């Protein structure tokens, strides 16, 4: 597979999807529907999903595709597949809080190897290059103009003054209990896969998630964090968080910058 081409295509599709999402976000009120699991979905989710799916299938017709909005049709995955959350953080989108992202990742042998996380309302774009090294693209994020690519790297954690990032919409009591096991200087909140990116840039040291997530929620963020020197492990045994699991459901996990001692569950 041509990894440079994949990186270029997923960047383009993320920006195009972000443009469509922002047209809806900046417009009049939009309808909010409920899916079978009672999670919310909007026309922005559906529009972005259609755009990204069509783009990936046209560019890479032989690579399997998994997306959140088409998850009911997915029964199994190939060894290599794309996984997409066209609008991660729908609740943030609905309440116009800005912390929503477009997530596209390539998974190979159970691990995300390339990914893009685009937060159009925050004007931040994080992407891995062909070698899997992560960058933040500066500038206006135009399809035909690639901005300065600033390589990003995780922090060196100070275990006496850790910076934790946690969910805005899904901060459970179990997550709070786990955070309390550490010496915390600051606890920041963020929505969607931006939490992975804040660890990847060194703006936070650790992101624990003691709550339900699906693989499309995490794959692109994990690729970006790994490409910046970070790690994502299962909460229960600290083994790497892998992909292609039954029904694409994740166990609880911890995303962090190496150099700190992980506490037990």
Statement to judge: residues 132 and 178 lie in one domain: no
101-123 pLDDT, tens digit per residue, is 999 999 999 999 999 999 999 99
Give strand pairing partners of 84.
Answer: 67, 104
Statement to judge: residues 98 and 170 lie in one domain: no
Q: Which domain holds residue 231?
A: 162-256
263 lies in some domain: no
What's the predicted TM-score (pTM) here? 0.95
Statement to judge: residues 167 and 142 lie in one domain: no
Please state which of the ranges 13-17, 35-39, 201-205, 241-245 shows the lowest mean pLDDT.
35-39
Statement to judge: residues 192 and 105 lie in one domain: no
Residue 37 has pLDDT above 70, yes or no: no
Count structural domains, the chain: 2
CATH code, domain with 228:
3.40.190.80
Pairing mode, if any, of strands 64-67 and 80-88? parallel
183-217 pLDDT, tens digit per residue, is 999 999 998 999 999 999 999 999 999 999 999 99
Domain boundary, last residue among 124, 151, 178: 151
Taking alpha carbons only, the member of 217, 224, 200 closest to residue 83 is 217
Statement to judge: residues 182 and 238 lie in one domain: yes
Most confidently modeled range among 30-34, 65-69, 167-171: 65-69
As given in the structure block, the two tokens for residue 62 are: 């032989």
CA distances (Å), 208 to each of 1, 8, 244, in order?
Answer: 33, 31, 21
């Amino acid at each position: 597979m041509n990894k440079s081409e994949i990186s270029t295509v997923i960047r383009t599709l993320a920006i195009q999807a972000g443009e469509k999402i922002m047209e809806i976000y900046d417009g009049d009120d939009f309808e909010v529907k409920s899916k079978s699991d009672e999670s919310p979905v909007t026309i922005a989710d559906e529009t972005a999903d259609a755009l990204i799916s069509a783009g990936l299938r046209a560019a890479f017709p032989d690579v399997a595709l998994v997306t959140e909005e088409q998850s009911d049709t997915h029964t199994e995955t190939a060894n290599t597949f794309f996984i997409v959350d066209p609008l991660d953080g729908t609740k943030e989108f609905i309440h116009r809080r800005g912390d929503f992202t477009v997530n596209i990742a390539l998974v190979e042998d159970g691990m995300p190897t390339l990914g893009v996380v685009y937060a159009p309302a925050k004007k931040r774009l994080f992407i891995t290059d062909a070698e899997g090294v992560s960058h933040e693209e500066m500038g206006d994020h135009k399809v035909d103009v690639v901005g300065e690519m600033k390589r990003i790297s995780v922090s060196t954690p100070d275990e006496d003054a850790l910076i934790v990032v946690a969910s805005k919409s899904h901060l459970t009591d179990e997550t709070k209990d786990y955070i309390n096991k550490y010496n915390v200087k600051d606890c920041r909140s963020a929505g969607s896969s931006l939490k992975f990116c804040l660890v990847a840039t060194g703006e936070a040291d650790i992101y624990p998630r003691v709550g339900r997530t699906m693989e499309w929620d995490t794959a692109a963020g994990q690729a970006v964090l790994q490409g910046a020197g970070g790690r994502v492990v299962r909460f229960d045994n600290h083994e790497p968080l892998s992909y292609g699991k039954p029904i694409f459901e994740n166990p609880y996990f911890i995303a962090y910058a190496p150099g700190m001692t992980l506490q037990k569950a």
